[in-house]
Structure 1
């Protein structure tokens, strides 16, 4: 059954991926009408989230951000499909890294690098990093897709430029193995996910609301002495992004506990407040805000 679903959908995805960009974004406009106006996909969640984190914002402004967000979300979804066939030249033109020299400096320290990402702007074309002759291998930590055929496709897309996907199920084990065997790498991690409430051991204020937070990047960096950067992506124009690797720490083992997590949250909040339309508001990041904090949990701030 999984195979039938995949082979019914994949040809459509491939055809979309090879469209010229002008027509490609016309398709995105049509999807926006379908998703926003006709289906109303998670509009209640989006509106609730915006009102929650911007309680003093006028309703007209909430509406403006909501619409701009949905347009961006549709673009981002289509750009993920575009990854199937986009050329190296086009990818480097559309996803530009501003400070590769800083990454080369970090590589010379001979320590692996955790790249902390949020659900902001887009990280779909981050695999362009592998096109710049950096010394370290690029790994992306991802949640495995249930359909094994789509999961294989995701790995194939990420592997086009020699990148490797690692499932969240065995990420820690794989990273430790690499470190023990001298394999240095960039590890891209989505760090603003919402933990399951029964695994919520740490809580933090995010956009003014206390929520549980994952501390995996923080713990790994300190335990394995890894450098940490924040992937700050700015959407410059439709289909064009600028990525800057913002330093978080170059000496994780000397940093106070939770420093990395707190720094990441602050950097992400700064981007959201400046241009909120590029955050993934369909993401139920604040769903546990009213849950009682477990007695054995730690409040970071």
Structure 2
């Protein structure tokens, strides 16, 4: 059944991916109309999240952000599909890194990097970063249920010396790389909501008390890797800039969870500046206003 789904869907995805960008974004506009106006995909969740974190915004402002978010979400979907056939030249033109020297600084100091980001902006073309650095790239991800599409996604990333690894394999893979003397740059999307009974740390995110993932910080300390935050900014439709900010060059100099707290403060700044680019469909605040004791 998985293979049947693959051979039926993949040709359609490939046909969409070869569309010129003008037609690709026209397709995105049609997808927006379908998802937002017809299907209403997670509109209730998005509305609740926006009202929760922006209690002082008017209903008109909330609706405006919500519509802009769904337009952006559809653009990300078609850009992910475009990754199947987009040329390296086009990708380098559309995803730029104005302060890439921040990464080079750590490489020149022989430091591997934990690269932290949130579900913000666009992360679909970030793997072109490997064309600008010497380090081998890894990204932690959740394996797809369909093994054929899972292999496809891995193959696309591998074209640019970037490799996907599961959470379970992360430490062993990066420890082995360190033992070999390899420099690595390792991407973590770190703003998800963990299971509260497993959370080691709670913090205020957008003014709301929630559990936080601390895996990126803990791994950086165990393997002595620099911690860098990256922010993706949309310049115009189909064009993005990614900038880097070092959170900790030597993470073991910091108290437990200081790095995680600093990361979430940077994410908050992004959201305040342009909230439409955050992934509001996730139930990030579903465990709000609880405490670890509530789940014992």
For 1:249-269, what per-residue CA distance to the aligned partner results, in whole angstroms no more than 9, with x for missing partners? 111111121111011100000
For 1:258-296, what per-residue CA distance to the aligned partner results, in whole angstroms no more than 9, with x for missing partners? 111011100000000110000000011011115453379
Unaligned 5+ runs, structure 2: none
CA distance in 1, matches of 2:254, 2:291: 29
Q: Please say which of residues 135-144 and 38-47 is displaced more in the overlay.
A: 135-144
CA distance in 2, matches of 1:111, 1:263: 20
Q: SS of the counterpart of 2:168?
A: coil
CA distance in 2, matches of 1:191, 1:34: 30
1:22 is aligned to: 22
Does 1:107 find its partner at 2:110?
A: no
1:63 is aligned to: 63
CA distance in 1, matches of 2:113, 2:89: 26
Does 1:171 find its partner at 2:148?
A: no
Does 1:284 find its partner at 2:296?
A: no
1:74 is aligned to: 74
1:260 is aligned to: 259
Q: SS of the counterpart of 1:179?
A: helix
Q: Contact 2:114–2:188 (CA<8 Å) still a contact in 1?
A: yes
1:85 is aligned to: 85
Does 1:130 find its partner at 2:130?
A: yes
Q: Aligned-pair distance for 1:181? A: 2.3
Q: SS of the counterpart of 1:4?
A: helix
For 1:23-42, what per-residue CA distance to the aligned partner results, in whole angstroms no more than 9, with x for missing partners? 00000000000000000000
For 1:74-121, what per-residue CA distance to the aligned partner results, in whole angstroms no more than 9, with x for missing partners? 001110111111101100110001111221111011111011010000
Q: Please say which of residues 158-167 and 56-65 is displaced more in the overlay.
A: 158-167
Q: Please say which of residues 35-44 and 199-208 is displaced more in the overlay.
A: 199-208
Task: Note the 1:114-193 alignment, pairs <5 A.
Answer: 114-132=114-132, 134-193=133-192
Q: SS of the counterpart of 2:255?
A: coil
Q: Which runs of 4+ in 1 moved over 3 A?
A: none
CA distance in 2, matches of 1:291, 1:254: 30
Unaligned 5+ runs, structure 1: none
Q: Aligned-pair distance for 1:174? A: 1.4
- The alignment's TM-score, normalised by the length of structure 1, stands at 0.96
1:197 is aligned to: 196
Q: Contact 1:138–1:164 (CA<8 Å) still a contact in 2?
A: yes
- The alignment's TM-score, normalised by the length of structure 2, stands at 0.97
Q: Contact 1:46–1:281 (CA<8 Å) still a contact in 2?
A: yes
The count of corresponding residues between Structure 1 and Structure 2 is: 296
Q: Contact 1:144–1:168 (CA<8 Å) still a contact in 2?
A: no
Q: Contact 1:88–1:131 (CA<8 Å) still a contact in 2?
A: no
For 1:44-82, what per-residue CA distance to the aligned partner results, in whole angstroms no more than 9, with x for missing partners? 000000000001100000000000000000001110111
Q: Aligned-pair distance for 1:192? A: 0.4
CA distance in 2, matches of 1:25, 1:11: 19
Q: Aligned-pair distance for 1:135? A: 1.6
Q: Contact 2:202–2:291 (CA<8 Å) still a contact in 1?
A: no
Q: Aligned-pair distance for 1:170? A: 1.3
Q: Please say which of residues 54-63 and 163-172 is displaced more in the overlay.
A: 163-172
1:231 is aligned to: 230
Q: SS of the counterpart of 1:10?
A: helix
